[in-house]
Amino acid sequence: MKFESLKGSIVAMVTPFHEDGSVNFEVLTQLLERQIAAGTDGILVLGTTAEYPTMTHEEDASVVAHTIRVVNGRVPVMVGSGSNCTATQVEKSIEYQNMGADALLLIAPYYNKANPEGMYRHFAQTADAVNIPCILYNVPGRTGCSIPVSVVEKLSKHPNIAGIKEASGDMSYVMKIAHCAGPDFAIYSGNDDITLPVLSVGGSGVISVYANVMPEMSHRIVKDYLEGRQDEARANTIKYLKLMNDLFIEVNPIPVKSAMNMMGLNVGPMRLPLCEMSEAHQAVLHKTLEEAGLV
């Protein structure tokens, strides 16, 4: 399965857990089949939504292997291999490529951060080590740093760096990337509520939390926009905007896993330091799901 020039809705998968905290592979299979049946254009595992910071390397590899086996080439599989240690990122990227990943998601180095040259080398060294597309991940609310536009522009010329997941919510930043990186560099919205603005400046789609809950609609919104049905895309975005926003009423992925459990998808608990939502927020989210016809 080729990832190059992928357009559409890529779901940022949750990782389902049993009550004892172990990975629930049976439910993971059900979630993957649900996504594919709904028309999801791509699958991302081990992203922020997957709680990968609390998973062991062995669990990471098991989830990747299981996902690639179940998906079986029906849609592209992207794997989050990012780390704030470049050597670890390179090691995991090579491992996941060898397991059959179609693309890699590389996060900006968090906590230790980096100066612009160090950040450039962090990504370039990883891209040099693999031969599948790498997608940069800019999420300063998580990492404490943003990838400078000048660094993105330089990285966009690397043959293995195909795009960016832009999750700062800053449309000015998005437009600067669109201007300097060129039309062959994919820009994916990392925020469901601004997918349409990102598409309007040449974006390729969304890497979506919302798609865990309504995969068919997430796919349809992007497809409609890209195929010229902007009015329909706009109407559906507005219709489900409150749900998109309420999936961030607490830190992701607490609300989306809570919503999926309310919907009977049985994704289980979070791992500490994440825990269940407050009762007040549960009530708000449940009401929003009722309004959307999901519970």
Could you tell me the mean pLDDT of each successive run of 10 residues in the chain, 295 residues long?
83 97 98 98 97 95 98 97 96 98 96 94 97 96 93 96 95 95 93 97 97 98 98 98 98 98 98 96 98 96
pLDDT value, residue 183: 85
* Spatial distance between the Cα atoms of 61 and 177, rounded to a whole number of angstroms: 32
pLDDT value, residue 182: 84
pLDDT value, residue 5: 75
Q: Which residues are catalytic?
A: 137, 165
CB-side exposure of 288: number of CA atoms within 13 Å? 25
Q: What are the structure tokens assigned to 183, written together? A: 């039309």
Give the 3-state DSSP-derived string for 22-90, with helices as H, strands as E and coil as C. Answer: CECHHHHHHHHHHHHHCCCCEEEECCHHHCHHHCCHHHHHHHHHHHHHHHCCCCCEEEECCCCCHHHHH
C-alpha pair distances (Å), 108 with each of 82, 83, 293: 8, 8, 37
pLDDT value, residue 134: 97
Q: What are the structure tokens assigned to 246, written together? A: 């309420």
- Residue 107 near residue 143, CB atoms below 8 Å: yes
DSSP assignment of 94-138: HHHHHHT-SEEEEEPPPSS---HHHHHHHHHHHHHH-SS-EEEEE
Closest CA to 14 of 219, 259, 225, 224: 259
Closest CA to 160 of 184, 120, 130: 130
pLDDT value, residue 1: 53
Q: Are strands 77-80 and 186-189 parallel, antiparallel or unpaired?
A: unpaired
